[in-house]
Structure 1
Amino acid sequence: MSPLSLDLSPDLFPALTEAQADPDGPGAHRPALRFGDRSLTYGELAATASPLAARVAEAGRIAVWATPTLETAVAVVAALLAGVPAVPLNPKSGESELGHIVSDSAPTLVLAAPGTQLPPALAALERLDIDTSAPATSLPSPGTSDPESPALIVYTSGTTGPPKGAVIPRRAIATTLDALADAWQWTGDDVLVHGLPLFHVHGLILGILGPLRRGGSVRHLGRFETAGVARELSEGATMLFGVPTMYHRIAETLPDDPALAKALARARLLVSGSAALPVHDHERIAQATGRRVIERYGMTETLMNTSVRADGEPRAGTVGVPLPGVELRLTEEDGTTAVEAYDGETVGEIQVRGPNLFTEYLNRPEATAAAFTEDGWFRTGDMAVRDPDGYVRIVGRKATDLIKSGGYKIGAGEIENALLEHPGVREAAVTGEPDADLGERIVAWIVPADPQSPPTVDELADHVARRLAPHKRPRVVHHLDALPRNDMGKIMKRALTHD
């Protein structure tokens, strides 16, 4: 593993500064951003973001209507150049959620693409349209030299209450992106393709700011399509970022699309994140393309914590090892006793500590305090085991995926992977429900491959017991037409109920 050099200067994008200093140099003409048929070189991005940065420099805090467009990328870059905290807004959020976020974060401006219709919840904010063709002669001076100053305020999904605003400092963005550069051998020669939304960490920080920090380029698909992935990877893109739903669609398409298989085989790196990628999809993609998808693990509050390294073993079902600079431990239920076992079986809660962490939940000092241990470890709420070589395997969320059955602590994730290996199962989710004898019994929610002939509970129980252990077999099976998912493709288990 190479030593990690962390640049904590206010200059998050050295390639932009270089392009501005030498507008006729080769760096200024390198491609930076492309959305469909619209694109900006580094010189054009510097010239476009500069006047916008100057206009928002005294704004205090700004909101960005984060559509998957060139304007969103320019707006966030401008805010970072000006040293003004930006609040990315999910265009699919409802009025109540948007109202809460605006009230909580109190931005003075909302930035949006020209012609975009904004909802009533934003009516009281001054609007500033993003002009992607405005000329400039010089970049503004950085608005801050403090690596701890807020860069972004990203709101969590709010599964256990109103969304909380995680305040992400410049230091966390720089250290996470530099750690990923080390793990993925990510350079300015890489061209990233993705179709992720731009209101969260994965799509915005990794997918847009990551290439810009390296001096490379990103091609955003606007919306995810396997044809777009094939086209871009066939035309020079080297990396693909996606979520499991996207890779599942790729796996389903591959048998009938040799061009897609050929394009994926040319990629230097295929990365999945935001939720666990089922082992079945891993294997189908590897078999068709000869390339393995690698997984990484992060969250809004911590940015990235672990990853399978580009020079490491791409082991399906794991999220690799801690990134440079990140400390990771597993703890017992008391939240302080460390789990020392590296046996691939002993489950503990992941806690992390390092420069990748957020600063606080905006306006929520009690929630911030509760999220950390007394000695500074962040409680992720994710449950995992560690293999003997240190690879981390996440088995679920503490609140919804840790099942205590018959004296065992069981992670729902490993059962879901086993179920997905059954040919009669298209999608699967696992929960626990009260049981007088076992404490909790394991419940499987199945989308059958053939709705007319779904697998039986006994068939699935035997299938899981053979692959894992008898105490991990489901006792109840419900058949569904589809699993409830959020915008990122994560299964919303709290919505899984039955009469």
Structure 2
Amino acid sequence: MLTGLLAADPTRFVEVAGRRLSHPDLLAAASAVADDLEEHRRVAVLALPTLETVVGIAGALLAGVEVVPVPPDSGHAELAHILADSAPEAWLAHSADLGGDAAPGEGRLQLVRVNVSARADVILDPVDDEAIAFVMYTSGTTGLPKGVLQSRRAVVAGLDALIDAWDWTADDVLAHGLPLFHVHGLILGTLGPLRVGGSLVHTGKGTPAAYAEAARAGATLFFAVPTIWSRVADSPDDAAALRSARLLVSGSAALPVPVFERLKELTGHEVAERYGMSESLITVATRADGLRQAGWVGVPVAGVEARLRDESGAEVPRDGETVGRLEVRGPTLFSGYLNRPEATAESWTDDGWFVTGDVAVIAPDGRIRIVGRESVDLIKSAGYRIGAGEVESTLLGHPAVAEVAVVGEPDADLGQRIVAYVVPRAPHTPTDADADAESALADELSRFVGEELSGHKRPREFRFVAGLPRNEMGKVQKKRLLG
């Protein structure tokens, strides 16, 4: 799994928030952790953006021990659920991260200390490819978070497919400031360089200035979510520093068209988008040599197949317009939900395809555009099936719109009516004096959508707000808008 790290090239390194280890030192420190984990089966890692987190996870993987990445900002109830559900035998961390020997949350767990200065010889025992590498918890948007079981086989298949898609080599220096408890920041952003044998600069925080500094220091490959890319696009001097990069990648949500175009202007790069989830890792990606278009996430990676189905299970045309339920299959898929056999069974079709829960369109050339979640982004209004993402992308093309979320609300006549929550570019001050201006802007935006799209896709109502509810990865939490 960590093939590149095992080469122990002294010219390669991992740097997190300004602290750096060469690959040989990282490998030796991880081997010391592996020695300490000899009798363990599963450990929890408080996934702070630190060298200790990287060394600890690398050590656990060397030892064949399962890792439960825990978000550092977990609330009391979420943390208690994760620990009770996954039942780790110990915390794997620097003692200072946990406040001494005490585990955060209820109760106490044994602490296996991570010391980045420790060194040990590498001893590799065989580990089954189907052994679980990670128990990674979902965001819990439809109830308590579920533990996704990701095998070593799936992680390797996912990384190798992206190494192929992005022409990723040991000469690349990856830079990002993403959380280390999600697929994007942890598996792609941390294990990717250790798999390919390249270097990593984790900037600590995903700020435009930090990305620019990494570029000036020689970073060639950048990962970010749309929120970060939007901030980079609003910082021209920092964005210009990224002209020296080889590839910019965006994921976790659709990149707005204006941000895509602004980054192209400032950096000289068209951002490559990709799609995946905890259960599937990255199944679709825009190739380094592929066509890049805002909102389109590319084609299935090596070994992965994708298809669209309607509510009855019938095939949906690949015409770039017709929305369908996205289903995938391939070697990157998970091994099931921990302690949830029924939920696991419900996630698969009778003929062996994983039901992503997302809706999408597929173009004749095989490229995919994600419309959103089937539960909140597929709007059925007056007999039409409308993708919220298409309406959102259109509205973001209007100069008065900074952010937008489109939802379908129950309607006695239409079934669902299209409602747009809009963050205006001008400061939002909800007073009576604004009513006329907001009414005029709503009319203008309605006409704008009607000119760009079919008439039935125009929002029936616009609600102007100061901000949209988002999770830690920048995804809009539409269920909070729907109440």
Fold shared, TM-score > 0.5 on shorter chain: yes
The reply on whether 1:443 has 2:443 as its aligned counterpart is no
8 A contact 1:296–1:319 mirrored in 2: yes
Superposed displacement of residue 117, structure 1? 3.3
Structure 2 unpaired stretches of 5+: 430-436
Distance 2:246 2:176 in 1: 14
Distance 1:242 1:107 in 2: 30
Task: Report the 3-state secondary structure (helix = DSSP H, G, I; strand = E; otherwise coil) of the residue aligned with 2:242.
Answer: helix
Superposed displacement of residue 77, structure 1? 0.6
8 A contact 1:85–1:152 mirrored in 2: yes
- 1:271 — aligned with what? 249
Structure 1 unpaired stretches of 5+: 1-11, 20-26
8 A contact 2:327–2:353 mirrored in 1: yes
The one of 60, 65, 81 equivalent to 1:84 is 65
The one of 160, 168, 181 equivalent to 1:186 is 168
The one of 473, 478, 482 equivalent to 1:488 is 473
8 A contact 1:318–1:392 mirrored in 2: yes
The one of 17, 35, 41 equivalent to 2:16 is 35
The reply on whether 1:69 has 2:50 as its aligned counterpart is yes
Superposed displacement of residue 497, structure 1? 4.5
| AA of the residue aligned to 2:461 | V
Task: Report the 3-state secondary structure (helix = DSSP H, G, I; strand = E; otherwise coil) of the residue aligned with 1:232.
Answer: helix
Query: What aligned pairs does 1:184-223 form with structure 2 within 5 A after superposition?
Result: 184-223=166-205
Task: Report the 3-state secondary structure (helix = DSSP H, G, I; strand = E; otherwise coil) of the residue aligned with 2:380.
Answer: strand
Superposed displacement of residue 32, structure 1? 2.4
Task: Report the 3-state secondary structure (helix = DSSP H, G, I; strand = E; otherwise coil) of the residue aligned with 2:97.
Answer: coil
Task: Report the 3-state secondary structure (helix = DSSP H, G, I; strand = E; otherwise coil) of the residue aligned with 2:95.
Answer: coil
Change (3 A) 1:151 1:474: same
- 1:228 — aligned with what? 210
- 1:131 — aligned with what? 115
Question: What is the TM-score of this pair, normalised by structure 2?
Answer: 0.95
8 A contact 1:303–1:357 mirrored in 2: yes
Distance 1:17 1:344 in 2: 44
Distance 1:348 1:301 in 2: 19
- 1:398 — aligned with what? 374
| AA of the residue aligned to 1:264 | L
Per-residue CA deviation, residues 359-392 of structure 1 (Å, 9 max, x unaligned), is 0100000000000112211000110011121110
Distance 2:106 2:5 in 1: 31
Greater mean deviation of Cα atoms: 452-461 or 43-52: 452-461
| AA of the residue aligned to 1:343 | D
Query: What aligned pairs does 1:209-358 form with structure 2 within 5 A after superposition?
Result: 209-254=191-236, 257=237, 260-334=238-312, 336-339=313-316, 341-358=317-334
Task: Report the 3-state secondary structure (helix = DSSP H, G, I; strand = E; otherwise coil) of the residue aligned with 1:400.
Answer: helix
Identity %: 53
Distance 1:430 1:15 in 2: 43
Superposed displacement of residue 234, structure 1? 1.4
Task: Report the 3-state secondary structure (helix = DSSP H, G, I; strand = E; otherwise coil) of the residue aligned with 2:417.
Answer: strand
- 1:8 — aligned with what? none
Per-residue CA deviation, residues 95-124 of structure 1 (Å, 9 max, x unaligned), is 101101100100001012231235642542
Distance 1:446 1:159 in 2: 22
Distance 1:143 1:446 in 2: 54
Per-residue CA deviation, residues 70-111 of structure 1 (Å, 9 max, x unaligned), is 111111111110001000000111010110110010000101
| AA of the residue aligned to 1:321 | V
The one of 83, 86, 94 equivalent to 1:105 is 86
Distance 2:109 2:319 in 1: 54
- 1:114 — aligned with what? 95
8 A contact 1:308–1:314 mirrored in 2: yes
Task: Report the 3-state secondary structure (helix = DSSP H, G, I; strand = E; otherwise coil) of the residue aligned with 1:115.
Answer: helix
- 1:22 — aligned with what? none
Task: Report the 3-state secondary structure (helix = DSSP H, G, I; strand = E; otherwise coil) of the residue aligned with 1:361.
Answer: coil
Distance 1:55 1:114 in 2: 15
8 A contact 1:169–1:358 mirrored in 2: yes
Task: Report the 3-state secondary structure (helix = DSSP H, G, I; strand = E; otherwise coil) of the residue aligned with 1:296.
Answer: strand
Task: Report the 3-state secondary structure (helix = DSSP H, G, I; strand = E; otherwise coil) of the residue aligned with 1:320.
Answer: strand
Superposed displacement of residue 241, structure 1? 0.2
Distance 1:16 1:390 in 2: 35
Query: What aligned pairs does 1:413-428 form with structure 2 within 5 A after superposition?
Result: 413-428=389-404
| AA of the residue aligned to 1:111 | L
8 A contact 1:244–1:272 mirrored in 2: yes
Distance 1:412 1:100 in 2: 33
- 2:433 — aligned with what? none
Superposed displacement of residue 338, structure 1? 2.1
Change (3 A) 1:200 1:261: closer
The one of 453, 456, 464 equivalent to 1:468 is 453
| AA of the residue aligned to 1:332 | D
Greater mean deviation of Cα atoms: 51-60 or 475-484: 51-60
8 A contact 1:326–1:355 mirrored in 2: yes
Superposed displacement of residue 143, structure 1? 5.1
The reply on whether 1:373 has 2:349 as its aligned counterpart is yes
Distance 2:275 2:192 in 1: 16
- 2:464 — aligned with what? 479
Distance 1:155 1:482 in 2: 27
8 A contact 1:322–1:328 mirrored in 2: yes
Task: Report the 3-state secondary structure (helix = DSSP H, G, I; strand = E; otherwise coil) of the residue aligned with 1:213.
Answer: helix
